[in-house]
Structures are given as structure tokens and as C-alpha cells.
Amino acid sequence: MIASAEILAWLITLYVVCGIVAAPILAFKGLDHIDDAAEGSSLGFKLIVIPGLILFWPLIVSRVRHNQKAPTEKTPHKILWRNKS
């Protein structure tokens, strides 16, 4: 019989493997669609965000599939900065 710890280990492994497969695709294709700041970003940036994409791949895949843009920050600092440009 398979122990529950073994099942959990397999599920975590499956999650990470899916993240490893999805992360490069998201870094080089998906981020441009959901975040304007990532559009035209350098190779270095894309390599730096891969660990985060591995961890949060379901959220990012969902945003790419639904074509949702990243939420806009609405702090007083950002509002003042936008008004100056």
C-alpha cells in the first residue's frame, strides 16, 4: 500500500515538473501578453523570473489563457509619477 507521504511526494514532484516545463514557455512567450513592463525584456530578466514561474505556474497560465493584464498599482507614489510623465 502507498503511504500518504509517498502520494504527497509524487504530487509535489508532478507540480514542480509541470512548472519546469511551463516556465520557459511562459518566460519567453506568456509574460509579454500579461505584463506591459515585461514586453521586450532582456534574456537576463527572463532567466531571473523562471524560479518564480516554476512556483506560480498555475496562476500565470490562468492569466495568459484568460488574457488578463497584471493589476495596476494605484499608490499615491505611482499616481504622482504617472502625472509627471
What's the confidence (pLDDT) of residue 35?
80
Q: How is the chain split into domains, by residue range? A: 4-84
- pLDDT tens for 39-83 read 888 999 999 999 999 999 999 999 888 887 766 677 887 777 777
Find, among 79, 66, 71, the residue nearest to 37 by Cα.
71
For residues 77 and 61, give the distance between their C-alpha atoms in angstroms, rounded to a whole number. Answer: 30
